[in-house]
């Protein structure tokens, strides 16, 4: 009997024993930096000449690991292995498949700080952000396993006296999971094990910035009893093997999380029926955001300021859910801007290995350049209030940045910057605030800070985002509590961590047995 789901608690780092345990995990991971990792295809380790070098973004000279890189021939081999594994994995009792996830969750929970420490080194997560990422990965394992147990006998439908009708779900086949680097444990694990527990087999292409944490997760899946070939670890170039596998006639579904540009391309390519393909590919395409916090005239401004700062600068603003726009009522605009500026100027930026750091680096040189370029654009479009500079001598550090008086149509108000930059604009009433919040191509997250119940209810109806929050920030959805996914060009709204998630990766089947 499976106990009811509750989310994994976050670690209290005020507690000295937790701080010490995290420090010990950092030491352990540091002692393992620089190792080489192979591909895993059909359970076999495959080493290639070409390698991906994973580097610590807080210290460019530190190599986290070197990882073999798949090419098209190896991707094809992985496809064959996954096809073969599907024959048996899809026939496993769904509860037995769920048990692999439950055991994986148990192992990951015991080694949680170690996984978090890998993310501190590999992608620059502070301990709080890394801990949340690990907790979310565990939650996905626990939640999707229970979902499969619930769905294993299908759904109740009607029958008449002379027939027995049945409605059940069956897995699709081999699917492709393409994951981003910004939640390199949680999203990578969730978008892999959701379709996997449904009985599919997976080709997993992680982001090239975070292959080591992915390999570590594969080891745990194996330890938990996952049969060979069920998840195949094939890091590589998005263009080379990503496109190849998206277009492959045997790929039954694509589960993508990443940028709008890449996501739209994958959606188009997956829609084309290839020679030899006798099905339509299913796609879950989760993309970027340009997320707004509305501050109403009667809002608790301390709550608003804390919510904006946490949502804008957590993990250096590198979240699809990050607050990058604030729309404040004209009566409180100056006050909220001042409060946010004050909090922003107090933030510490530095090496995330240091437990006192609030904000670590951004992920790589090209992101650093792109964000600073947006800051230059912002200087021409709005008023720079604080921040606006970077330092990439050792790692890719950018000061948290606030712009004021931005036009709602300015580029910094419309385009995803994916860095620690937030822009303010003012509006005269609730209608104008909601209209501005809605005036982007994205529709992922948003918040409204207000004590006016009628305004909150209006936002419930009119604020066009997949995840809307009242009187809190717009990041940090929890699996099973705030299912996650966006409207418009934020994606297909697959709602990761939601009750219908694994249904995206199954075919419902009706059987009518007439007596
Ligand atoms: N909506 C969500 O749930 C969500 C969650 C996290 C991140 N994101 C978005 O992800 C983006 C940041 O992640 P990123 O920089 O890794 O995104 P990205 O689009 O650059 O890459 C995502 C993945 O796609 C792969 N890829 C790149 N080109 C490809 C191609 N032509 N074919 C197939 N695969 C290809 C990459 O190697 C990577 O594994 C941001 O836009 C962010 O908003 C969205
Ligand atoms: N689900 C995460 C965001 C994922 C995107 O980067 C949140 O709710 O903050």
Q: What is the pLDDT of residues 324-335, one digit of tens each?
A: 999 999 999 999
Q: Which of 114, 286, 364, 381 is catalytic?
A: 286
Q: What is the pLDDT of residues 121-135, one digit of tens each?
A: 999 999 999 999 999
> Closest ligand 1 atom, CA of 288?
43
pLDDT higher than 80, residue 36? yes
DSSP code for 11: P
Evaluate if pTM is beyond 0.90. Answer: yes
Q: Collapsing DSSP states into helix, strand and coil, what is residue 328?
A: strand
DSSP code for 242: I
Q: Which ligand is nearest to the CA of 237?
A: 1
Mean pLDDT of 368-393: 98
DSSP code for 349: B
Which residue among 7, 132, 320, 486 is best mutated to probe the pocket of ligand 2, counting the most ligand atoms within 8 A of its Cβ?
Answer: 320
94, containing H or E segment: helix 94-110
Q: Look up 286 and say whether it is catalytic.
A: yes
pLDDT higher than 90, residue 308? yes
pLDDT at 43 (0 to 100): 98
Residue pointed to by tokens 């997949």: 466
- Average model confidence (pLDDT) across the chain: 98
Q: Which residue, judged by its Cα, is nearest atom 16 of ligand 1?
A: 180
The closest of 287, 258, 284, 265 to 488, measured between CA atoms, is 287
Please list, in sequence order, all residues whose beta carbon lies within 8 angstroms of the beta carbon of residue 139, skipping any fewer than 6 positions away.
Answer: 7, 8, 186, 478, 479, 480, 497
> Closest ligand 1 atom, CA of 239?
31
Please list, in sequence order, all residues whose beta carbon lies within 8 angstroms of the beta carbon of residue 81, skipping any fewer than 6 positions away.
Answer: 41, 42, 43, 228, 229, 232
pLDDT higher than 80, residue 26? yes
- 143 and 102 in contact (C-beta within 8 Å)? no
> Closest ligand 1 atom, CA of 496?
3
Give CATH 3.40.309.10 domain extents, the chain: 291-470
Count of CA atoms in the C-beta half-sphere (13 A) of 509: 11
Give CATH 3.40.605.10 domain extents, the chain: 28-287+493-514
> Closest ligand 1 atom, CA of 260?
41
Measured from the CB, is residue 186 less than 6 Å from ligand 2?
no
Task: Give the dihedral of Cα atoms 486, 487, 492, 493; nearest 10 deg.
Answer: 40
79, containing H or E segment: helix 72-89
Measured from the CB, is residue 218 less than 6 Å from ligand 2?
no
Residue 283 binned pLDDT confidence (cut-offs 50, 70, 90):
very high
pLDDT higher than 80, residue 146? yes
Compute, in angstroms, the gap from residue 153 CA to the centroid of ligand 2: 32
Q: What is the pLDDT of residues 471-504, one digit of tens each?
A: 999 999 999 999 999 999 999 999 999 999 999 9
CA-atom Rg of the chain in angstroms = 23
pLDDT higher than 80, residue 75? yes
> Closest ligand 2 atom, CA of 497?
1
The closest of 53, 41, 44, 89 to 204, measured between CA atoms, is 41
Which residue among 131, 319, 493, 497 is best mutated to probe the pocket of ligand 2, counting the most ligand atoms within 8 A of its Cβ?
Answer: 319
Strand pairing report for 253-257 and 421-427:
unpaired
User: Residue 512, Cβ neighbours under 10 Å: how many?
Assistant: 11
Residue pointed to by tokens 């931005």: 406
Q: Which residues line ligand 1 (CB under 6 A)?
A: 178-183, 187, 205-208, 238-239, 242-243, 246, 257-259, 262, 265-266, 286-289, 320, 416, 418, 444, 484, 486, 490-491
Q: Which residue, judged by its Cα, is nearest atom 26 of ligand 1?
A: 238
pLDDT at 1 (0 to 100): 76
CA distance 204 to 482: 25
Measured from the CB, is residue 418 less than 6 Å from ligand 2?
no
CA distance 12 to 250: 46
Complex ipTM: 0.99
Q: What is the pLDDT of residues 402-431, one digit of tens each?
A: 999 999 999 999 999 999 999 999 999 999
Measured from the CB, is residue 319 less than 6 Å from ligand 2?
yes
| CATH code of the region 28-287+493-514 | 3.40.605.10
**Residue 343, both tokens:** 């909090």
Q: In this structure, which topology does domain 291-470 adopt according to CATH?
A: Aldehyde Dehydrogenase; Chain A, domain 2 (3.40.309)
Which residue among 317, 445, 446, 477 is best mutated to probe the pocket of ligand 2, counting the most ligand atoms within 8 A of its Cβ?
Answer: 477
Q: What is the pLDDT of residues 176-201, one digit of tens each?
A: 999 999 999 999 999 999 999 999 99
Mean pLDDT of 360-372: 98
Measured from the CB, is residue 134 less than 6 Å from ligand 2?
no
Q: What would you measure as the largest C-alpha separation in the chain, in angstroms? A: 77
DSSP code for 147: H
Q: Which residue, judged by its Cα, is nearest atom 28 of ligand 1?
A: 238
**Residue 222, both tokens:** 């194996």
């Amino acid at each position: 009997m499976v106990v009811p789901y509750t989310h994994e608690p976050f670690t209290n780092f005020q507690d000295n024993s937790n701080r010490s345990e995290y420090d010990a995990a950092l030491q352990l991971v540091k002692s393992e930096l620089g190792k080489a990792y192979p591909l895993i295809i059909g359970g076999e380790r495959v080493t290639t000449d070409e390698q991906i070098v994973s580097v610590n973004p807080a210290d460019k000279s530190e190599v986290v690991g070197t990882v073999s890189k798949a090419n098209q021939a190896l991707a094809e081999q992985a496809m064959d292995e996954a096809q073969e594994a599907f024959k048996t994995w899809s026939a496993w009792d769904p509860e037995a498949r769920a048990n692999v996830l439950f055991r994986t969750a148990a192992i990951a929970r015991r080694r949680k700080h170690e996984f978090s420490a890998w993310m501190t080194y590999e992608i620059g997560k502070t301990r709080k952000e890394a801990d949340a990422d690990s907790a979310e990965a565990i939650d996905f394992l626990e939640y999707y396993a229970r979902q499969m147990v619930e769905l294993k006998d299908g759904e109740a439908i009607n029958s008449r006296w002379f027939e027995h009708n049945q409605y059940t779900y069956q897995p699709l086949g081999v699917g492709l999971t393409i994951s981003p680097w910004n939640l390199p444990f949680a999203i990578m694990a969730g978008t892999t094990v959701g379709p996997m527990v449904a009985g599919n087999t997976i080709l997993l292409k992680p982001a090239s910035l975070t292959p080591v944490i992915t390999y570590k997760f594969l080891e745990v899946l194996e330890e938990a009893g996952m049969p060979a070939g069920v998840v195949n670890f094939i890091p590589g170039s998005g263009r080379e093997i990503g496109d190849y596998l998206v277009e492959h006639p045997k790929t039954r579904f694509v589960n993508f999380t990443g940028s709008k540009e890449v996501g739209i391309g994958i959606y188009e390519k997956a829609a084309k029926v290839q020679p030899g393909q006798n099905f339509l590919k299913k796609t879950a395409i989760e993309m970027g955001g340009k997320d707004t916090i509305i501050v109403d005239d009667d809002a608790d401004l301390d709550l608003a300021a804390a919510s904006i700062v946490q949502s804008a600068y957590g993990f250096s603003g590198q979240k699809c859910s990050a607050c990058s726009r604030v729309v404040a009522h004209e009566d409180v605009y100056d006050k909220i801007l001042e409060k946010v500026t004050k909090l922003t100027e107090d933030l510490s930026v530095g090496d995330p290995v240091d437990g006192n750091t609030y904000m670590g680096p951004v992920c790589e040189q090209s992101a650093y350049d792109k964000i600073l370029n947006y800051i230059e654009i912002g200087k021409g479009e709005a008023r720079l209030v604080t921040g606006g500079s970077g330092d990439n001598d050792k790692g890719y550090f950018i000061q948290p940045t606030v712009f004021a008086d931005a036009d709602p149509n300015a580029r910094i108000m419309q385009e995803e910057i994916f860095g620690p930059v937030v822009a303010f604009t003012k509006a005269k009433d609730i209608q104008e605030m909601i209209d501005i919040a809605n005036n982007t191509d994205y529709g992922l997250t948003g918040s409204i800070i207000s004590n006016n119940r009628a305004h909150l209810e209006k936002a419930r109806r009119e604020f066009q985002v997949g995840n809307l929050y009242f009187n809190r920030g717009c990041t940090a959805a929890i699996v099973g509590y705030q299912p996650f996914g966006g409207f418009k060009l934020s994606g297909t709204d697959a709602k990761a961590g939601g009750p219908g998630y694994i249904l995206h990766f199954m075919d419902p089947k009706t059987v009518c047995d007439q007596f």
